[in-house]
């Protein structure tokens, strides 16, 4: 999965909006389940509870990442944001996906006719409105950072975990509500309550797939991803344009957090430079890199000689 302080600020607002929406939706869906007995509504209410918990985890990860560096963790705690986002995948998989699959199988094996289907339709419609609001908020916050990239490309290449996770969660919630609506509708049209269980099973399968995608992306970020190609080009251009630099021999980068980039450089400098001049040239390189890529907070430059 480029991160910036602005993107983190945007994600905080999106997290809050999604949390409030999902808490309200969870209460409405569960009340609907109690009235109608629709297993798809129960699965969706658990889904909303899982989403609300996930937004709490994302918020906690952002707070934990702000801890100052210690002797043990000298590069800080920025990767807390990646870790807690990985936990989100585990919650989606277990609390959301597996429970919905279990409930769907149970409903297929022991179908029961729905009570007050009109109530189920009304609640599903209302929930779609709330989920649409949450997704719209996440899209609005993510759009400035997406640039010209497609949404799937943005999710894959973003070094900030919160907004991509919210986008996937909210999209899955709308699709899951569609599955629930189809299941309830077919149950009423055919008179066969098995369709409600099939809809619930579809919700579970959807959540398991989304959890898998989130887990894969967060695993990559936890292992440490390099800067985006755009930022890599900016760093290299800043170095090659610096006085005293003959060429860049080697350039390595790694995100310590979405908002903090580690840059390690081996560069060839003018051999005529004195030691004080070389030190000044290195300092100038660091200043140029920070100006080009503000999140490059930790920069280490090693002078060397290019060999054939």
- Residues 163-184 pLDDT 10s: 898 899 889 989 998 998 999 8
More confident position, 170 or 277:
277
Rg (CA), the chain: 25
Distance from C-alpha of 31 to C-alpha of 41, rounded to nearest angstrom: 9
Give the model's pLDDT for residue 18.
Answer: 76
Give the model's pLDDT for residue 130.
Answer: 84
More confident position, 41 or 268:
268
- Which domains are delineated in the chain? 5-223 (1.20.1510.10), 229-304 (3.30.70.1350)
Least confident of 23-37, 175-189, 239-253, 288-302: 23-37
Decide if pLDDT at 9 tops 70. Answer: no
Q: What is the mean pLDDT of the chain?
A: 87
User: 177: closest CA among 214, 148, 135?
Assistant: 135
Give the model's pLDDT for residue 5.
Answer: 45
User: 214: closest CA among 166, 142, 175, 258?
Assistant: 166
Decide if pLDDT at 2 tops 50. Answer: no
- Average of pLDDT values for 235-248? 93
Distance from C-alpha of 149 to C-alpha of 164, rounded to nearest angstrom: 13
Which pLDDT band holds residue 308 (cuts at 50, 70, 90)? Answer: low
- Average of pLDDT values for 35-64? 82
Decide if pLDDT at 6 tops 50. Answer: no
Q: Is the pTM here over 0.85, yes or no?
A: no
Give the model's pLDDT for residue 7.
Answer: 54
Decide if pLDDT at 298 tops 90. Answer: yes
Question: What is the arrangement of strands in the sheet containing 245-257, beginning at the earlier edge strand?
Answer: 245-257, 260-269, 298-304
Most confident of 29-43, 71-85, 88-102, 290-304: 290-304
């Amino acid at each position: 999965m480029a991160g910036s302080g602005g993107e983190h600020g945007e994600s905080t607002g999106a997290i809050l909006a999604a949390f409030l929406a999902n808490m309200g939706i969870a209460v409405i869906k569960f009340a609907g389940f109690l009235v109608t007995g629709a297993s798809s509504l129960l699965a969706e209410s658990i889904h909303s509870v899982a989403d609300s918990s996930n937004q709490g985890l994302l918020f906690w990860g952002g707070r934990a990442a702000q801890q100052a560096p210690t002797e043990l963790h000298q590069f800080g705690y920025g990767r807390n944001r990646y870790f807690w986002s990985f936990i989100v995948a585990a919650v989606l998989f277990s609390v959301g996906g597996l429970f919905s699959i279990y409930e769907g199988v149970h409903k297929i094996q022991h179908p029961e006719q729905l009570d007050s289907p009109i109530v189920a339709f009304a609640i599903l419609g209302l929930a779609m409105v709330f989920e649409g609001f949450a997704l719209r908020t996440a899209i609005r916050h993510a759009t400035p950072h997406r640039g010209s990239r497609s949404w799937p490309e943005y999710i894959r290449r973003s070094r900030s975990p919160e907004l991509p996770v919210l986008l996937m969660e909210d999209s899955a919630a709308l699709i899951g509500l569609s599955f629930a609506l189809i299941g309830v509708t077919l149950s009423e049209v055919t008179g066969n309550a098995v369709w409600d269980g099939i809809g619930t099973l579809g919700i579970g399968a959807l959540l398991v797939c989304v959890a898998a995608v989130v887990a894969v992306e967060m695993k990559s970020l936890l292992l440490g991803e390099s800067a985006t190609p755009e930022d890599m080009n900016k760093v290299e251009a800043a170095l090659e344009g610096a006085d005293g630099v003959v060429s860049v021999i080697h350039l390595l980068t790694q995100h310590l957090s979405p908002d903090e980039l580690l840059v390690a450089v081996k560069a060839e400098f003018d051999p005529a430079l004195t030691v004080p001049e070389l030190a000044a040239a290195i300092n100038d390189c660091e200043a140029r890199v920070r100006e080009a890529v503000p999140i490059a907070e930790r920069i280490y430059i090693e002078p060397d000689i290019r060999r054939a």
